[in-house]
Structure 1
Amino acid sequence: MTVMDDLIAAGRALVDAGLSPGTSGNISARDGDRLLVSGTGAPLGALDPSDFAVVSLGGTVLGGAKASKETPLHLGFYGRSSGNHAVVHVHSPQATAFSCTEPWSRASAIPPLTPYFVMRVGSTPLLPYRMPGSPQLGDDVLEAPGEFRAALLANHGSVVAGISLPDAVERAVEVEEACRIALLTASAPRRELTDEQTADLSQRWQSPWTTPTVD
Structure 2
Amino acid sequence: MTAILSEETKLRDQIVSVGKSIFDRGLTFGSTGNISARLSSGELLMTPTNASLGSLAPERLSRFSAEGVHTGGDKPTKEAFLHQCMYCQQKMSGAVVHLHSTYAVAVSILADIDPDDVLPPLTAYYVMRVGSLPLVPYFPPGDKALADAVAEKAKTSHAVLLANHGPVVAGKTLLDAQYATEELEETAKLFFILRGQPVRPLTGAQREQLRG
Q: TM-score, with normalisation over the residues of structure 1? A: 0.88
- 1:94-128: CA deviation from partner (whole Å, max 9, x where unpaired): 11101112464343111111111101110111111
How far apart, in 1, do the equivalents of 2:58 and 2:200 lie? 46
The code of the aligned residue for 1:110 comes to L
Report the aligned-residue RMSD: 1.6
Contact 2:90 2:155 in 1 (8 A): no
- Deviation per CA, 1:125-165: give whole Å up to 9, x if none: 11111111122222222222752111111010111011111
Equivalent-residue separation in structure 2 for 1:15 and 1:133 (angstroms)? 22
Q: Is the 8 A contact 2:45 2:61 kept in 1?
A: yes
Report the 3-state secondary structure (helix = DSSP H, G, I; strand = E; otherwise coil) of the residue aligned with 2:54. helix
Q: Match for residue 133 of structure 1?
A: 142
Q: Which runs of 5+ in 1 are unaligned?
A: 204-215
Preserved contact between residue 115 and residue 134 of structure 2 (Cα < 8 Å): yes
- Asked if 1:107 corresponds to 2:116, the answer is yes
Residues 1:158 and 2:167 aligned together? yes
| Counterpart Cα distance in 2 of 1:121 and 1:82 | 17
Higher helix content, 1 or 2: 2
Q: Which residue identity lines up with residue 43 of structure 2 in the other structure?
A: R
2:24 aligned to 3, 16, 28, which one?
A: 16
Distance 2:140 2:28 in 1: 19
Q: Deviations over 1:69-92 (max 9, x none)?
A: 110100011101221110000001
Structure-2-length-normalised TM-score: 0.90
Instruction: Say whether the 8 Å CA contact 2:133–2:157 is kept in structure 1.
Output: yes
Letter in 2 for 1:151: V
Shift of 1:56: 2.3
- DSSP-derived class of the 1:99 partner: helix
When the two structures are aligned, how many residues end up with a matched partner? Answer: 203
Structure 2 distance, partners of 1:61, 1:90, is 22
Of residues 180-189 and 101-110 in structure 1, the stretch that sits farther from structure 2 once superposed is 101-110
Structure 1 residue 2: Cα displacement: 1.4
Distance in 1 (CA, whole Å) between partners of 2:60 and 2:97 is 16
Structure 2 unpaired stretches of 5+: 1-8
Q: Which residue of 1 aligns with 2:201?
A: 192
